[in-house]
Structure 1
Amino acid sequence: MTVAREFDPVKLSVLANAFDGIVREMTNGLLRSARSSVINTARDFSCAVLTADNQLLAAAEGVPVHVFGAGPLGEDMVELHDDIREGDAFLHNDPYRGNSHAADHCILVPIFVEGRHVFTAVTKAHQADCGNSLPTTFYATARDVYEEGALIFPCVRVQRDYTDIDDIVRMCRSRIRVPDQWYGDYLASVGASRIAERRIHELAEKFGVDDLVDFVDAWFDYSERLAASAIATLPEYELHGWTAHDPFPGTGPDGVPLQATIKVKPAQGSISIDLRDNPDNLPNGLNLTRATATGAALAGILSGIPENLPSNAGTFRRIEVLLRDGCAVGVPKHPFSCSSGTTNLADRIVNLVQAAFSQIGDGYGTAEGAAGQAPAKSVISGTDERNGNAYVNQILVGGVGGPATPYVDGWPTYQRPVCGALLYHDSVEVDEQRYPILIRERMLVTDSGGAGRLRGGLATRVTIEPRVDAVTLTYGIEGKLNPPKGVRGGQGGAVPDAWVEDIDTGRRREIPIVGRYDLRRGEKIVSITPGGGGYGDPLQRDVAAVLDDLRECRISSQAALTDYGVVIADGGVDQEATVKTRRERLTAR
Structure 2
Amino acid sequence: MDVKTATEVAVLHHALVGVAEEMGEALKRAAYSPNIKERQDYSCALFDAQGRLLAQAAHLPVHLGSMPASVAAVISSVDFQKEGDFAIINDPYDGGTHLPDITMVAPVFAGTTSWKAGGEVRVRRGRRLIGYVANRAHHADVGGAAPGSMSPQTDLIAEGLVIPPVLFERDGQISPDVLAIVMANTRTPDERLGDLHAQLAACDRGIHRVIAIEQQYGSKKFQALCNALYKHAAQLLRDNLKSLKRGSFRSEDVLDDDGAGTTDIRIRCSLTVSRDKLTFDFSDSDQQVRGGVNAVRAVTASASFYSVLCLCDPRPPINHGCFEHIEVITKPGTVVDAKRPAPVAGGNVETSQRIVDVCLGALAQAAPGRVPAQSQGTMNNLTIGGVGSDGKPFTYYETIAGGCGAGPGRTGASATHSHMTNTLNTPAEALEHAYPLRVEEYALREGSGGNGEHRGGDGVIRRIRTLVPATFGLLTERRTSSPKGAEKGKPGRQGINQVRYNDGEVEPVDAKCSGELEPGEAIDMRTPGGGGWR
2:174 alignment partner in structure 1 = 164
What residue identity is the alignment partner of 2:497?
A
Conservation of the 8 A alpha-carbon contact between 1:251 and 1:282: no
Conservation of the 8 A alpha-carbon contact between 1:368 and 1:484: yes
What residue identity is the alignment partner of 2:280?
I
Shift of 1:282: 1.6
Shift of 1:195: 0.7
Q: Sequence identity of aligned pairs in percent?
A: 26
CA RMSD of aligned residues (A): 1.9
Shift of 1:95: 0.7
How many angstroms apart in 1 are the aligned matches of 2:261 and 2:314? 37
Conservation of the 8 A alpha-carbon contact between 2:472 and 2:517: yes
- Higher alpha-carbon Rg: 1
1:118 alignment partner in structure 2 = 130
1:312 pairs with 2:319: yes
Secondary structure at 1:488 match in 2: coil
Is the alpha carbon distance of 1:211 and 1:495 closer, same or farther for their aligned partners in structure 2, counting shifts above 3 Å?
same
Secondary structure at 1:432 match in 2: helix
How many angstroms apart in 1 are the aligned matches of 2:369 and 2:57? 26
Kindly provide the CA deviation profile for residues 480-521 of structure 1, in whole angstroms up to 9, marking residues without a partner as x: 221111111111111111223346x64322333321132223
How many angstroms apart in 2 are the aligned matches of 1:356 and 1:404? 18
1:289 pairs with 2:296: yes
How many angstroms apart in 1 are the aligned matches of 2:392 and 2:479? 36
Shift of 1:373: 5.2
Shift of 1:407: 4.2
Shift of 1:136: 2.4
Secondary structure at 1:395 match in 2: strand
1:471 alignment partner in structure 2 = 470
Kindly provide the CA deviation profile for residues 373-392 of structure 1, in whole angstroms up to 9, marking residues without a partner as x: 54xx411101111x221101
Shift of 1:162: 1.6
1:413 alignment partner in structure 2 = 415
Conservation of the 8 A alpha-carbon contact between 1:89 and 1:159: yes
2:117 alignment partner in structure 1 = none
Shift of 1:525: 3.0
1:579 alignment partner in structure 2 = none
Is the alpha carbon distance of 1:124 and 1:400 closer, same or farther for their aligned partners in structure 2, counting shifts above 3 Å?
same
2:211 alignment partner in structure 1 = 201
Secondary structure at 2:81 match in 1: coil
Conservation of the 8 A alpha-carbon contact between 1:351 and 1:367: no
Kindly provide the CA deviation profile for residues 270-291 of structure 1, in whole angstroms up to 9, marking residues without a partner as x: 2111111112222222111121
Is the alpha carbon distance of 1:248 and 1:281 closer, same or farther for their aligned partners in structure 2, counting shifts above 3 Å?
closer
Correspondence for 2:222 among 207, 212, 215 = 212
Shift of 1:19: 0.2
Gaps spanning 5+ residues in structure 1: where? 538-589
Secondary structure at 1:351 match in 2: helix
Correspondence for 2:386 among 367, 382, 385 = 382
**Structure of higher RCO (CA pairs closer than 8 Å, 6+ residues apart):** 2
How many angstroms apart in 2 are the aligned matches of 1:440 and 1:36? 22
Conservation of the 8 A alpha-carbon contact between 2:258 and 2:292: no
Conservation of the 8 A alpha-carbon contact between 1:305 and 1:365: no
Shift of 1:26: 0.4
Conservation of the 8 A alpha-carbon contact between 1:405 and 1:454: yes
Conservation of the 8 A alpha-carbon contact between 1:344 and 1:372: yes
2:445 alignment partner in structure 1 = 445
1:371 pairs with 2:374: no
How many angstroms apart in 2 are the aligned matches of 1:522 and 1:126? 28
How many angstroms apart in 1 are the aligned matches of 2:395 and 2:97? 21
2:60 alignment partner in structure 1 = 63
Correspondence for 1:260 among 258, 269, 273 = 269
Conservation of the 8 A alpha-carbon contact between 2:282 and 2:329: yes
Q: How does 1:186-585 map to 2 (within 5 A)?
A: 186-250=196-260, 252=262, 254-265=263-274, 268-305=275-312, 307-330=314-337, 332-360=338-366, 362-372=368-378, 374=380, 377-385=381-389, 387-396=390-399, 398-419=400-421, 422-468=422-468, 470-502=469-501, 506-535=504-533, 537=534
Shift of 1:438: 1.1
How many angstroms apart in 2 are the aligned matches of 1:407 and 1:315? 28
What residue identity is the alignment partner of 2:467?
R
Conservation of the 8 A alpha-carbon contact between 2:285 and 2:334: yes
1:46 pairs with 2:43: yes
1:34 pairs with 2:36: no
How many angstroms apart in 2 are the aligned matches of 1:530 and 1:401? 6
1:127 alignment partner in structure 2 = 139
Shift of 1:186: 0.1
What residue identity is the alignment partner of 1:436?
P
1:8 alignment partner in structure 2 = 5
Conservation of the 8 A alpha-carbon contact between 2:151 and 2:383: no
Shift of 1:161: 0.6
How many angstroms apart in 1 are the aligned matches of 2:59 and 2:2? 28
How many residues end up aligned between the 2 structures? Answer: 519
How many angstroms apart in 2 are the aligned matches of 1:41 and 1:206? 35
What residue identity is the alignment partner of 2:442?
R
Kindly provide the CA deviation profile for residues 52-103 of structure 1, in whole angstroms up to 9, marking residues without a partner as x: 1111111121211101122222221221134533221001111111111111
How many angstroms apart in 2 are the aligned matches of 1:90 and 1:106? 8
How many angstroms apart in 1 are the aligned matches of 2:33 and 2:339? 31
- Deviates further, 336-345 or 28-37: 336-345
Secondary structure at 2:369 match in 1: coil
Shift of 1:113: 1.0
1:145 alignment partner in structure 2 = 156
Is the alpha carbon distance of 1:357 and 1:406 closer, same or farther for their aligned partners in structure 2, counting shifts above 3 Å?
farther
What residue identity is the alignment partner of 2:156?
V
Conservation of the 8 A alpha-carbon contact between 1:355 and 1:366: no
Kindly provide the CA deviation profile for residues 118-139 of structure 1, in whole angstroms up to 9, marking residues without a partner as x: 1110110011111212212223
How many angstroms apart in 1 are the aligned matches of 2:505 and 2:76? 59
Secondary structure at 2:39 match in 1: coil
Is the alpha carbon distance of 1:362 and 1:277 closer, same or farther for their aligned partners in structure 2, counting shifts above 3 Å?
closer
Conservation of the 8 A alpha-carbon contact between 1:304 and 1:354: no
Gaps spanning 5+ residues in structure 2: where? 112-126
Conservation of the 8 A alpha-carbon contact between 1:413 and 1:425: no
Conservation of the 8 A alpha-carbon contact between 1:305 and 1:357: no
Shift of 1:395: 2.8
What residue identity is the alignment partner of 1:384?
G
How many angstroms apart in 2 are the aligned matches of 1:407 and 1:123? 37
Is the alpha carbon distance of 1:73 and 1:373 closer, same or farther for their aligned partners in structure 2, counting shifts above 3 Å?
closer
